[in-house]
Structure 1
Amino acid sequence: MPIFKRRNAPFYSYDFRVKGNRYTGNTGKTTKREAEQFEESEKRRIKSLTIQSGQPMTMGQATGRYWDEVGQFHVNSDTTVTVFAWLDRQIGKNTLISSITDADIAKLISKRRAEKDVQPSTVNRSVTQPMRALLARAADTWGQEVNKIKWAKLLLKEPQERVRELMPDEETRLFAKLRADYHPIVRFSLLTGCRMQECLDLTWRQIDWTNRQMRVTGKGEKTRTIPVSDAVYSLLRPLPMAKDKVFTYGSKRADKAPRDELRPITREGLKSTFERTVVNAEIEDFSFHDLRHTCATRLLRATGNLRLVKDLLGHSDMNTTLKYAHVTQSDLLNAMNHTQNAAQAKDDQANELKENQKIG
């Protein structure tokens, strides 16, 4: 199959076979010519690797090849590097992947869980899921012999994600303490429900001003279209277009760049700035991801329509969106209490009037 573009995707993908094994991935290129060149170089690299395909593969070889073919194209590729570096150290780069068993995976899980403040979801995403992806590719694509792992039993049960909403007074304090050049990206997440990485990756090319919509690529390389509301339009339109990325900041350190030069906001910079601001604003138990929760909660409260929330957040399963259902239930309870209290007050007033008439 020649290179191709997935629907609404900004980059070309490749899909080819070498000696019966299938190789797919993202070229990271936006032009067809560059994508074709990338595919050719990838074919040459794979062919050179398959010369020794009959030999068992070590953990170090497997993680290196996985990075070349898949990991470097992850949205959070920096996290992928950290995760596999940790797995390499724990398993051993010279360990044959054919020798890895359920017991080895369980040992990794136990060690990760023992670390301070590590949640079950983090263990799943940093141990179980990457090892599952690595061994599956080794078996299905690289023709390696691997043990059958009972992944369902190894995945830890994750508690339902809590929904934390930013209250109006907290929002006022947050923006009062936040650096001015970080206001747009934080406000954007609050208005659209976009994740941190989706905000950071947004480019001007993804925004269609004429049709008032934008393409956002999120988890799992899934792309969705979000309307550009009046508020979002007013937020984005005045921003400087000096860089490809939408959200930038003015450099304050002369050793990094000329002072006040516009530079794309980084994940590390946004995370540290936001966390520091939350502390200074005296807001408890609030993360950047909670801006997404706040957006969804406000939309649901205004419309009462869970499907709209599902579409905005890009959930593939309505069950994921149901965690916001408590909002409509709470509003229903408040409405019922208001109605019933009003009715009771009216009855009390009528009874009081009757009593006064009797006395008169």
Structure 2
Amino acid sequence: MTFLTASSLWWEEKAQFRADHIDQERYLAWLQAVIGKKTPISLIDDSAIARAVARRRSEPVEFRNRDGKLTSPPHLPSSATVNRAVCEPMRAILRRAKKIWKQSVQDIEWSEHWLPEAQERVREASPEEEAALFETMRDDYAPALRFAFLSGCRRAEIVGLTWSRVDFFNREFSVIGKGDRTRPIPMTEEMYRLLWSLKDDHKTAVFTYVCKRPRERQKKGQRYPITIEGFKTAWRRAREKSGIEDFRFHDTRHTTATRLMRATGNLKATQRLLGHTEIATTSRYAHITKDDLRAALEASSNAYADRATKTATENPTGTQTHTAKTK
């Protein structure tokens, strides 16, 4: 089996159904050019993967709008981007080739090729920052952004949400997260009202946009399902107009988790909401409860100090006074 056949099968059977299918299609086209369409997958070894990783790391990333104009200066990709574009699809393709298509593939030391990613920081939006984002976000994309803050869902999970996975009767919905794992999430009252207000916009997709610049088979003014790329563009423009710095879309997820931890101190509930398989991944939010404990201790200490100061002021000699009794 050639790499062209294997990557095409991966697209047909798995990748095209992912919420980030546009990114996946781009990754596969790039890999076909670098690995070689006619390369037998049995010959893909560690050196081939290493060369692909090195090449991807050296190629600048560019963001362009529909007119081909650069929207930001070119920059080298992050380690996370290289892992998603090279290591993740290559590992998935070769694993499926071995397990499902019964092909002969080489043992790859994936841990040697996976680039170390920076420890994910926890960045919470302030109420003022959140309000500023909604002031600048397009009206038709605002519900998706609101849902992100309410649910803590990833961008791909929001884009891929369909009405078939929304249960108004039991007040819950389910999303498909990393590893194609389905995760049920109960609705809050605010989530319920938001989703209910959107139920007549489209037959299948929960979050849609109003077409302003029709493409092939589109009509101006009609609603169509939002896409990863469209959501990215709307988000980027809203963030730039808001003037907020050092805030990524993924930080809406951090904001939800931080608020949940602050309100409940329940790390297990936060893990379930975010869909983490390991509690260690969720433990980055544990500092919230430590901060709250520290604040409580500070308040207790200050209150005790205030009482001690008040007592010392009222009785500077430190001796006990008694009222004389008369016979």
The equivalent residue for 2:50 is: 106
Secondary structure, in 3 states, of the residue corresponding to 1:180? coil
Deviations 1:220-254 (A, max 9, x none): 22112111111111222222513121222223336
Q: Within 1, Cα distance between the matches of 2:2 and 2:295? A: 61
Q: Summarize the alignment of residues 175-186 of structure 1 with structure 2, pairs less than 5 Å apart.
A: 175-186=134-145
2:155 to 196, 220, 223: 196
| 1:211 lines up with 2:170 in the alignment | yes
The equivalent residue for 1:241 is: 200
**Is the alpha carbon distance of 1:200 and 1:73 closer, same or farther for their aligned partners in structure 2, counting shifts above 3 Å?**
closer
1:72 to 16, 20, 27: 16
Secondary structure, in 3 states, of the residue corresponding to 2:118? coil
The equivalent residue for 1:160 is: 119
Q: Within 2, Cα distance between the matches of 1:139 and 1:253? A: 44
Aligned residues: 302
- Per the TM alignment, residue 284 of structure 1 is displaced from its structure 2 partner at its CA by 0.7
The equivalent residue for 1:251 is: 211
Q: Summarize the alignment of residues 293-332 of structure 1 with structure 2, pairs less than 5 Å apart.
A: 293-332=254-293
Unaligned 5+ segments in structure 2 are 60-74, 320-327
Secondary structure, in 3 states, of the residue corresponding to 1:226? strand
The equivalent residue for 1:41 is: none
The equivalent residue for 2:253 is: 292
The equivalent residue for 2:71 is: none
- Per the TM alignment, residue 312 of structure 1 is displaced from its structure 2 partner at its CA by 1.1
| 1:354 lines up with 2:315 in the alignment | yes
- The one-letter code of the counterpart of 1:147 is Q
The equivalent residue for 1:224 is: 183
Q: Contact (CA 8 Å) 2:143, 2:207: kept in 1 or not? A: yes
Deviations 1:120-152 (A, max 9, x none): 222222212222222222233333332222222
- The one-letter code of the counterpart of 1:246 is V
Q: Which fold has the larger relative contact order, with Cα–Cα distance below 8 Å and residues 6 or more apart in sequence?
A: 2
What TM-score results when the alignment is normalised by the length of structure 1?
0.78
Q: Within 2, Cα distance between the matches of 1:64 and 1:137? A: 12
Unaligned 5+ segments in structure 1 are 1-56
Q: Within 1, Cα distance between the matches of 2:5 and 2:239? A: 42
The equivalent residue for 2:322 is: none
What TM-score results when the alignment is normalised by the length of structure 2?
0.85
Q: Contact (CA 8 Å) 1:202, 1:216: kept in 2 or not? A: yes
- The one-letter code of the counterpart of 2:256 is C
- Per the TM alignment, residue 304 of structure 1 is displaced from its structure 2 partner at its CA by 0.5
**Is the alpha carbon distance of 1:60 and 1:166 closer, same or farther for their aligned partners in structure 2, counting shifts above 3 Å?**
same
Secondary structure, in 3 states, of the residue corresponding to 2:173? strand
The equivalent residue for 1:340 is: 301
The equivalent residue for 2:93 is: 134
Q: Contact (CA 8 Å) 1:100, 1:146: kept in 2 or not? A: yes
Q: Within 1, Cα distance between the matches of 2:169 and 2:257? A: 26
**Is the alpha carbon distance of 1:204 and 1:335 closer, same or farther for their aligned partners in structure 2, counting shifts above 3 Å?**
same
Q: Within 1, Cα distance between the matches of 2:26 and 2:172? A: 35
- The one-letter code of the counterpart of 2:315 is K
- The one-letter code of the counterpart of 1:317 is E
Identity of aligned residues (%): 43
Q: Within 1, Cα distance between the matches of 2:162 and 2:193? A: 17
Q: Within 1, Cα distance between the matches of 2:195 and 2:15? A: 31
Q: Contact (CA 8 Å) 1:75, 1:219: kept in 2 or not? A: no
**Is the alpha carbon distance of 1:240 and 1:212 closer, same or farther for their aligned partners in structure 2, counting shifts above 3 Å?**
closer
**Is the alpha carbon distance of 1:264 and 1:62 closer, same or farther for their aligned partners in structure 2, counting shifts above 3 Å?**
closer
- Per the TM alignment, residue 334 of structure 1 is displaced from its structure 2 partner at its CA by 1.9
Q: Within 1, Cα distance between the matches of 2:156 and 2:190? A: 21
Select between 248-257 and 273-282 the one with higher mean Cα deviation: 248-257
**Is the alpha carbon distance of 1:73 and 1:181 closer, same or farther for their aligned partners in structure 2, counting shifts above 3 Å?**
closer
Q: Contact (CA 8 Å) 1:193, 1:312: kept in 2 or not? A: yes
**Is the alpha carbon distance of 1:185 and 1:118 closer, same or farther for their aligned partners in structure 2, counting shifts above 3 Å?**
same
